[in-house]
Amino acid sequence: MIMACLECGLKWQCLCSAVPSLTGPLALSLLMHENEYQRETNTGRWLVKALPDCADYLWQRRTPPPALLERLNDPGYYSLLIYPSEHSEPVEQHLQHAQDNGQIPHFIVLDGTWQEAKKMLRKSAWLNLPHAHLTTMQTSHYQLRRNQQTGHLCTLEVASELLKHIHQPQQAQALTDFLDTFMKTLQADKSGHRLREHSLT
């Protein structure tokens, strides 16, 4: 019996060595819906491995993650929620505000389906943060879930766009390339074989 890798969960082709090791100064917190931890299609888990200043936190309606609250209360950070809404402003404006105040931009992303993300925000009064939206015309290349809404990016694609905003285009491209590798490898794994002509570069 072929055993799945304990780290990446794939049976036929471990992807652990393909995860890019990035150095970009991107402070990123992923607030994950509990369902995301069980989804093999989740892309946020790869960001925790790839980015030195990225952490994931389990969302609970009544109990905010203490470690995340500590980060939100750190005066050295300018925390903002990446969530398009009628009150959100372009992320560039927030980056300028952080720079003017000598703070490090700290991005919070709600990791779940769009419906789950809306629920998480609605039921988390403690997430009373400035809302920011990405000003990108990029079309999502993520193809691992059904009913993907037009204009929405997966979590890894959001991080890639944020890296572009902080002037790290090469590291953003490394994430994009890995997403392509991950999607192809997972689809092959679910079909019961290795990805043919697989390249880790």
**Looking at residue 92, what is its pLDDT?**
95
Q: What pLDDT sits at residue 200?
A: 44
Burial 131-148 (b: 16+ CB within 10 A, else e): bbebeeeeeeebebeeee
Residue 201 pLDDT = 44
Fold of 21-190: Alpha/beta knot (3.40.1280)
**What was the pLDDT predicted at 109?**
97
User: pLDDT (tens digit, 9 = 90+) per residue, 153-197?
Assistant: 889 999 999 999 999 999 999 999 999 999 888 888 877 777 765
**Four-CA torsion 65, 165, 171, 143, nearest 10 degrees:** 70
Residue 192: its pLDDT value, please? 75
79 contact partners, CB below 8 Å, separation of at least 6? 71, 72, 106, 108, 129, 130
The mean pLDDT of the chain is 88
Q: Is 1 or 34 the better-scoring residue by pLDDT?
A: 34
